[in-house]
Chains A and B, each alone.
Chain A
Amino acid sequence: MLPGRILLAGLRRSASAASSVAQSPKNMCYWDRVIWSSRYFHSASDNTFSEGGSKAKELPDPFALIKDEVSEVTDRLRSMVVAEIPELTSAAGYFFRAGAEGKRTCPTVLLLMASAISTDMSDPIVGLENKPRARHVRVAEITEMIHISSLIHDDVLDNADTRRGMDSLNFTVGKKLAVLAGDFLLFRAFSAAVALDNTEVVSLLATAVNNLVTGELMQLTITPAQRCSMDYYLQKTYYKTAALISNSCKAVAVLSGQTTEVQALAYQYGRHLGIAYQLIDDILDFTGTSASLGKASFSDINQGIVTAPILFAMEEFPQLREIVEQGFDDPSSNVDVVCIESVPFSFFLVLKYLQKSQGIERTRLLAAEHAKLAAVAIDDLPPSEDPVVLSSRQALKDLTQKFLRRTK
């Protein structure tokens, strides 16, 4: 009786796949989730096995799997940042407004991770207010708040005018209010973390916050020698980009009551994903355009930040190293610098060397390496039969590939 119903439901759903409204996992009963996620799973395998060649490259969108749950996260975030003063509320909620949310990678990864490591096979059919899920969602919210808080402060530090294709917060309300809004978000996040009543989770998040600041510090006060060091760069990248997502993934595992091995795997996934993401970001800073990036391209090099492509290029061309060590001169400060349309000549030289070198390619290879390690971490998770778990794991792996291929 039951299997027949499922089959029918499944057929009906795939027939109306194009127009069906995606339900969020937490509102579904167990069997619905099976069908719903199997659709994702089958479409993934269909693409891989059928028609070979070009079709195989088309991945289902891992973001789509839990798009609605992530939307709810953003909605809730808007209400979580209400302050006593309207100016503070609007400043803090600036990046949670409709249309301003960005890709929301952090919550997506975390919610997928929560599903991927879940061992609760006895997920009851009545599980609407799925308590453990609610706590994971909280971690996603907290992480997003911390992430936004660091973005806001970064923009103040970099004097950035744009972010996500619109005016940055400091451009809109001034540096001071932006700094205050960032602090506010950080401590709201911290309060929410404390409410989870798990000291290890709070520790992990506090460590992540600490790492974010350390990374920023490393960048701000870099010496010429450190500028040329790949190790320093990778360490800084870990702190600035990967630390938050890796610690949050681990926090999700801790909240689920998983073993230390699973916690470590979750952590590794986050870490490698974050580093891969940043490496591609560095490439895009050279190859992307302002329109597609939503922010100025060449912004790294314009601020004198030496990233992986340049570091690799320096290994091939020692002359490049000299230019870099002298520092990227600010035209206004050094009258000896030759300028072409107010851009220092050294800038063009650097680009020239980069083009001649294998810098971009090698960075891409390194990113692929990290993406593979992230996928391996997922594969090493304890085996599971649950379709929801399996499709979430597949989505996480697809995410790594998606990052590698992005153009913006």
Chain B
Amino acid sequence: MSWRWALARRVAKLAATDGGGGAQAQRLLPTSSAAAGTGLLGRLHMPLASQIRSKVVGCRGAALVSSRWLHDAQYQVRQDGASRAQEQQDPFELVADELSLLANRLRSMVAAELHLQVPKLASAAEYFFKVGAEGKRFRPTVLLLMASALKFPLSESTEGGVLSILADKLRTRQQNIAEITEMIHVASLLHDDVLDDADTRRGVSSLNLIMGNKLSVLAGDFLLSRACVALAALGNTEVVSLMATAVEHLVTGETMQISTSREQRRSMEYYLQKTYYKTASLISNSCKAVAILAGHTAEVSMLAYEYGRNLGLAFQLIDDVLDFTGTSASLGKGSLSDIRHGIITAPMLYAIEEFPQLQEVVDRGFDNPANIEIALDYLRKSRGIERTKELAREHADRAVKAIESLPDSDDEDVLTSRRALIDITERVITRTK
């Protein structure tokens, strides 16, 4: 749960540094500093990423072509520029430019729609789509990589032919799924942070500090309604169903969190169900949607779903661990925000299994910091952290297995993306923040 608070804090700090996206684009295109078009690449001439972006954000037709061209271009750089040694490519880098494209589209959509009537809201909503911290790009990255990993083989000679145009269209639609997912995610963050008057003394969300309840609710509503419009435009019943289910799950998960009874607090099963709803459902259903848009079979779509689900669960479990350990390996150095908000997570639940006395401590609540210390003590003595990590590893392995079970492909792009998806599971497990 702590990454959500972290996100809120980051947003509150208003990363004014817009350099994030630009820098990444620069790294992607090493020749951009040199005269555009010459250099390592030979076959393709590549203008600056910014030129691509400005060309693309305007015209829809250009967007269709450029998105795929851009996407292919990214891979070209990989093939030609990568050293022969097994260079572990940063999976986020693989789709960095495409992501910037998405982010810009989202921002301009928000700005254009809202600016007409509501400048205040436009600037508020912009925070979320600003090119910036990595955490915010997690979902779209996974979805874009999944889209690439599921590409049907296209013969190179049909470049510019009908099939190529269809592939462009598909890519754009899959990008739309990524945008919709991000909109839903941000909307849920905004709505989750709506405070009841009783909550203000416990720990004020920084999102609300900036905007106040009203604007939070409205901004969330705005994003949800735009997501509805975008979903309607896709014209695919099954996909819309999936995303609607995802939203329902988000709402259900949040409701589970605020209305947890005492018995439910002790239950690992309840906790995992809630975690699935709150974190994994969105990414898993979007992955499945990406597969369905591509026209894959039910089996393949389920594999995509399984990947998303296990990845999401692994992510959340490690997040729970990090809330206790922070960047150090030792306990208690983390932000401890979950426990301070009375949210009992996996490590604690495991510890309670080993030490039933801990249940009483938990039931007393954690308004008293001394109580937190006692609980941490028990946690240290128990294998709670280790078992949580083991569970996370289990889910990560299942995610990898799902990717490995995908239908074989010879396409370089596809293989690179699949490797990247596997790489992401590793990063999720081993990250320290």
Contacts of A153 in B (CB 8 A): 217, 221
Q: B252 touching A221 by the CB < 8 A rule?
A: no
Q: Nearest chain-A residue to B119 (Cβ)?
A: A221
Bound CA–CA A377/B419 (angstroms): 61
Q: Which residues of chain B are near A217, meaning CB under 8 Å? A: 114, 117-118, 121, 218, 222
Contact indicator A206/B118 (Cβ below 8 Å): no
B221 to chain A, nearest CB (A): 5
| Given the contacts A194-B240, A202-B240, A216 and B218 also touching, CB distance less than 8 Å | yes
Contact A221–B121 (Cβ < 8 Å): yes
A206, B232: Cβ atoms under 8 Å? Answer: yes
Given A88-B251, A183-B191, A183-B224, the answer on whether A190 and B244 have CB atoms closer than 8 Å is: yes
B120 at the binding interface (Cβ < 8 Å): yes
Q: Is A292 an interface residue (CB 8 A)?
A: no
- Contacting pair B259 A87 (CB below 8 A): yes
Contact yes or no, A194 B247, CB < 8 A: no
- Decide: A180 and B229 in contact? CB cutoff 8 A: no
A220 touches which one: B196, B218, B231, B237 (CB < 8 A)? B218
Asked whether, in the complex, the Cβ of B229 is within 8 Å of the Cβ of A207, the reply is yes
Nearest Cβ on chain A to B255's Cβ, whole angstroms: 5
Q: Pick the residue among A190, A191, A214 that contacts B117 (CB under 8 A).
A: A214
**Residue from A183, A202, A210 in contact with B226 in the complex, judged by beta carbons closer than 8 Å:** A210
Q: Is the CB of B254 within 8 A of A180?
A: yes
Is the Cβ of B196 less than 8 Å from the Cβ of A221?
no
Report the bound CA distance from A368 to B196 in whole Å.
42
The number of residues on chain B lying at the interface, defined by a beta carbon within 8 Å of a beta carbon of chain A, is 45
Establish whether residues B228 and A190, one from each chain, have CB atoms under 8 Å apart when the complex forms: yes
- B248 is an interface residue with CB less than 8 A from chain A: yes
Known: A177-B255, A220-B218. A191 touches B194 (CB 8 A): no
- Report Cα–Cα, A195/B217, bound state, in Å: 28
A104 within 8 A of B: no
Q: Is the CB of A221 within 8 A of B248?
A: no
**Whole-angstrom distance between the Cβ of A188 and the nearest chain B Cβ:** 7
Give the residue of B214, B228, B245, B259 whose beta carbon is less than 8 angstroms from that of A209: B228
| B175-232 contacts to A (CB < 8 Å) | 191-192, 194-199, 213-215, 217-218, 220-222, 224-226, 228-229, 231-232
* Cα distance, A187 to B248, chains bound together (Å): 7
Measured between beta carbons, the chain B residues less than 8 angstroms from A319 are none
A157 touching B218 in the complex, CB below 8 Å, given contacts A88-B251, A194-B240, A221-B117:
yes
- A180 and B217 CA atoms in complex are apart in Å by 10
Q: Which listed residue (A175, A184, A206) contacts B213, Cβ 8 A?
A: A175
Residues of B within 8 A of A174 (CB): 196, 198
A176 and B194 form a contact (CB under 8 A): yes
Whether B118 pairs with A218 at a CB distance below 8 angstroms is yes
Q: Does B235 contact A (CB under 8 A)?
A: yes
Q: Mind listing 9 A-B residue pairs with CB under 8 Å?
A: A176-B195, A176-B199, A176-B258, A187-B248, A194-B237, A202-B240, A210-B228, A210-B229, A212-B225
